[in-house]
């Protein structure tokens, strides 16, 4: 590149650019401040030696500011010396697709522009995160260095070149760097076809008896679902609803749960409901699975995928192991025990699964927050989970409810729920956790109502691959009957705080499997509220979201 095309811009640090578990997330208005995005990108690039001449993957979920941010990052990537940048047409790439592209083309890394399931639009949220050469989220060591760089930055480098036409497929020169605008779906769709029995799924759909509805929530998976479900697998037009990505997600909250995916839930609860329903989130890495008037918890979904994995061509050789995040129910543990394979319990955050996947210790993994995945990528993958379920149904020819109930019959049912208190005053949320932490030593051995406490600690994880230690990963209270309560502060918001309470009770007796989940967990809910004092301290009548 001719040096005169690179401009050096003087800048000063911002004090709020510490990346979280999923990169840096802030309000759009924060990212729109002069130099804000540029500072963070330069701080990132300054941590990446050896990038000159290499390939970078770049794309996002189409939320507001996605297109402008991509132009800035392209010009800064040219100044950094990258040789090529692969960009999804119109700047669109799902998070799983970015991981797919990094791995397939052996890219140096990738930048994903998304705030996942958080709302979009001019008053919504925006985010940026970096994935390394394995396709997975950057480790803490790298993001910690990025943060240190943001505190010391004095300048950033940017190429003084025209914008790239993001809607035109093909190669475009940006100085000495090539920007390759690619079909955002093709490589990902090819990977899915290699993992699942598309012929059998196509037969199921073309028979015209089985019906489904997929809600893309006006987010990134719309183009992927149209191309795979309708075009490749033959589902009728209209199967995919809300399939056009919009900068504000159509005014919705692109979080695939029973609260925010209202349209799909209403469709699936109707008398004329389709046989199968599913939804994915803003950037395409989460999923919700529904049958006719039947909800499958993400924890049960992971366990069912593991138990039926041999039905999918990509997993016929068996599972090396499985992993779940600590707050996720222990349903998959039962499956692992029956298969004679290891089950790992990790902190929340996909990067913890990445080490296990890279080391060949696990094949499937998942979190209760509607995310599941496997060794095909280094990200959770919403549409992959949907296709996995369709693969199982196509082979077993049973309904979603029948498959789930048969699973409970064999492995027992883990009644499980998560209560989210969103938009809390951060001080109050931290105070609640601090008080619980102080009480932990005195809880073990106590009886609370009919429940004897056998575990009261704060989860700490030692990575079996690299030996790194992650502390303060959630407060756990376990009871003698195997029930448990977990308290944890979410790390995915951009303002205020979200305190999450996880409740789990194992029931081996099939005669008790038909209980309502909240009724089955009523004692645990009461204990959690009493221990935390959350209702009195917040003045609320209950959680914002129950899943």
Give the separation between CA 508 and CA 409, rounded to whole angstroms.
8
Q: Which two tokens stand for residue 520?
A: 């089955």
CA distances in angstroms from 217 to 17, 61, 222, 247, listed in the order given:
29, 12, 8, 12
Choose the catalytic residue: 116, 374, 456, 532.
116
H/E stretch holding 151: helix 140-152
Alpha helices (H) along 243-397: 262-269, 298-307, 331-339, 350-358, 382-396
Instruction: List the Cα angle 256/260/263 in 5-degree steps.
Output: 90
C-beta separation of 238 from 232 below 8 A: no
Task: Tell me how crowded residue 203 is: count the other CB atoms within 10 A of its CB.
Answer: 14
3-state secondary structure at position 461: strand
Summarize the chain as % helix, strand, coil (round to 5): 35, 25, 40
Burial 14-53 (b: 16+ CB within 10 A, else e): beebebbbbbbbbbbebbbeebbbbbbbbbbbbbbeebee
Query: Rounded to an integer, what is the distance from CA 366 to the centroid of its chain?
Result: 9
| DSSP state at residue 33 | S
CA distances in angstroms from 279 to 16, 283, 345, 442, listed in the order given:
33, 12, 26, 43
The number of residues in the chain equals 547
Rg (CA), the chain: 23
Give the separation between CA 176 and CA 158, rounded to whole angstroms.
13
Alpha helices (H) along 196-297: 198-206, 221-225, 262-269
C-beta separation of 152 from 171 below 8 A: no
Give the separation between CA 453 and CA 448, rounded to whole angstroms.
7
H/E stretch holding 436: helix 426-443
Task: Tell me how crowded residue 508 is: count the other CB atoms within 10 A of its CB.
Answer: 12
Query: Rounded to an integer, what is the distance from CA 373 to the centroid of its chain?
Result: 9
Q: Which two tokens stand for residue 216?
A: 């893309």
Query: 94 an active-site residue?
Result: no
Q: Which two tokens stand for residue 325?
A: 């995040």
C-beta separation of 481 from 507 below 8 A: no
Give the separation between CA 135 and CA 132, rounded to whole angstroms.
6
Q: Which two tokens stand for residue 311?
A: 């039905």
H/E stretch holding 424: strand 413-424
Active site residues: 116
């Amino acid at each position: 590149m001719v040096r005169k095309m690179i401009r050096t811009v003087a800048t000063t640090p911002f004090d709020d650019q510490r990346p979280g578990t999923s990169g840096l997330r802030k309000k759009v208005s924060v990212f729109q401040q002069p130099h804000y995005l540029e500072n963070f990108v330069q701080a990132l690039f300054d941590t990446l030696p050896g990038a000159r001449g290499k390939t970078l993957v770049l794309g996002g979920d189409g939320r507001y500011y996605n297109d402008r941010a991509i132009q800035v990052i392209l010009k800064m990537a040219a100044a950094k010396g990258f040789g090529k940048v692969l960009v999804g047409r119109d700047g669109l790439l799902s998070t799983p697709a970015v991981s797919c592209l990094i791995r397939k083309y052996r890219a140096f890394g990738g930048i994903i522009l998304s705030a996942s399931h958080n709302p979009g639009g001019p008053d919504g949220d925006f985010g940026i995160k970096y994935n390394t050469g394995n396709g997975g989220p950057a480790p803490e060591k790298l993001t910690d260095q990025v943060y240190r760089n943001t505190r010391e930055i004095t300048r950033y480098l940017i190429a003084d070149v025209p914008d790239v036409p993001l809607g035109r497929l093909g190669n475009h020169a940006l100085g000495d760097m090539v920007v390759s605008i690619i079909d955002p779906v093709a490589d990902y769709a090819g990977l899915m076809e290699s993992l699942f029995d598309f012929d059998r799924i196509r037969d199921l759909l073309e028979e015209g008896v089985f019906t489904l509805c997929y809600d893309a929530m006006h987010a990134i998976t719309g183009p992927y679902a149209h191309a795979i479900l309708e075009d490749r697998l033959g589902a009728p037009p209209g199967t995919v609803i809300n399939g056009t990505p919009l900068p504000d997600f159509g005014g919705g909250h692109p979080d695939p749960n029973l609260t925010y995916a209202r349209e799909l839930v209403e469709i699936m609860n109707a008398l004329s409901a389709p046989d199968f329903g599913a939804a994915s989130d803003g950037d395409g890495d989460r999923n919700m699975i529904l049958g006719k008037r039947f909800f499958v918890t993400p924890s049960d979904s992971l366990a069912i995928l593991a138990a039926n994995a041999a039905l999918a061509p990509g997993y016929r050789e068996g599972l090396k192991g499985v992993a779940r995040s600590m707050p996720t129910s222990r349903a998959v543990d039962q499956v692992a025990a029956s298969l004679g394979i290891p089950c790992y319990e990790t902190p929340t955050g996909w990067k913890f699964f990445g080490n296990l996947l890279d080391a060949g210790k696990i094949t499937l993994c998942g979190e209760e927050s509607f995310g599941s995945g496997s060794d095909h990528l280094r990200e959770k993958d919403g549409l992959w989970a949907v296709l996995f379920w369709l693969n199982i149904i196509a082979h077993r020819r049973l309904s979603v409810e029948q498959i789930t109930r048969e699973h409970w019959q064999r492995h027992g049912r883990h009644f499980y729920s998560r209560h989210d208190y969103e938009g809390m005053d951060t001080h109050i949320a931290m105070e609640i956790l601090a008080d619980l932490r102080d009480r932990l030593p005195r809880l073990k051995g106590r009886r609370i109502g009919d429940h004897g406490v056998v575990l009261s600690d704060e989860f700490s994880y030692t990575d079996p691959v690299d030996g790194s230690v992650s502390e303060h990963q959630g407060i756990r209270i376990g009871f003698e009957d195997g029930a448990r309560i977990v308290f944890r502060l979410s790390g995915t918001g951009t303002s205020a705080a979200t305190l999450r309470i996880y409740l789990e009770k194992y029931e081996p007796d099939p005669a008790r499997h038909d209980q309502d989940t909240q009724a089955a967990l009523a004692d645990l809910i009461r204990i959690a509220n009493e221990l935390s004092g959350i209702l009195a301290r917040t003045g609320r009548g209950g959680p914002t979201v129950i899943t």
